[in-house]
Amino acid sequence: MTDLTTEKSLASIEINNRLFFRLFQAANTLHTKGTQALDDFGVTTQQWSVLGALSRPQVEGGMSVNELSRYLLVSRQNLTGLLGRLERDGLIERSTGAEDRRERRVRLSEKGVALWQSLADPIHNFYDGALKGFSFDDRLAFIHYINLLQRNMSQL
């Protein structure tokens, strides 16, 4: 390799390391600061993600545990305990599938819907603060690149 090729290769390695380290830091900060934003509601960031997934209009009737697991990119095993706590707290309801009795469906309960609605302003304030300085176009581009990164990593 030429010196220029070696320099580019080393620069690429350094940039990659920095990028993934920053991504790791951002994920940790999201967990820490997100938890602080939700403390008054007694909701963890993991519960926030489940409630958010189940609050989408297209899943008003609920979704299977497998669908939720795929949507959140978490294992069924990790989701099981979380769903148990949400059900215990009356925030979700589980039922069996209409077509397949083995299927477990999950949806927000009335209490869960009310909690999600009360979280709307604090969550949007958190998002606005975290994305301060990002234009609308920056946000769209960021979504594009995060999606591309996630897709590439899932194919490894």
At 95 the pLDDT is 85
Residue-range definition of the domain harbouring residue 86: 44-154
Is residue 94 one of the residues assigned to a domain?
Answer: yes
* pTM across the whole model: 0.79
Is residue 20 one of the residues assigned to a domain?
Answer: no
Residue with tokens 């990659």: 16
- Read off the pLDDT band of 1 (50, 70, 90): low
Is the CB of residue 52 less than 8 Å from the CB of residue 58? Answer: no
114-135 average pLDDT score:
92
In total, how many domains does the chain have? Answer: 1
- Quick count: other Cβ atoms within 10 Å of Cβ 33? 14
Is residue 104 one of the residues assigned to a domain?
Answer: yes
- Please report, for the domain that includes residue 90, its CATH number: 1.10.10.10
Distance CA 82, CA 5 (A): 49
Distance CA 39, CA 32 (A): 11
Distance CA 34, CA 53 (A): 16
Is pLDDT of 77 > 80?
A: yes
DSSP assignment letter at 57: G
Which secondary structure element, helix H or strand E, spans residue 63, and what is its range?
strand 63-64
At 32 the pLDDT is 86
At 130 the pLDDT is 94
Question: Which pair of tokens denotes residue 144?
Answer: 């594009």
34-61 average pLDDT score:
87
Question: Which pair of tokens denotes residue 87?
Answer: 């059900």
Q: Enumerate the β-bridge partners of residue 63.
A: 106
Is residue 16 one of the residues assigned to a domain?
Answer: no
Is pLDDT of 2 > 70?
A: no
Q: Between 23 and 99, whose confidence is greater?
A: 23
CA 61 to chain centre: 20
Is residue 14 one of the residues assigned to a domain?
Answer: no
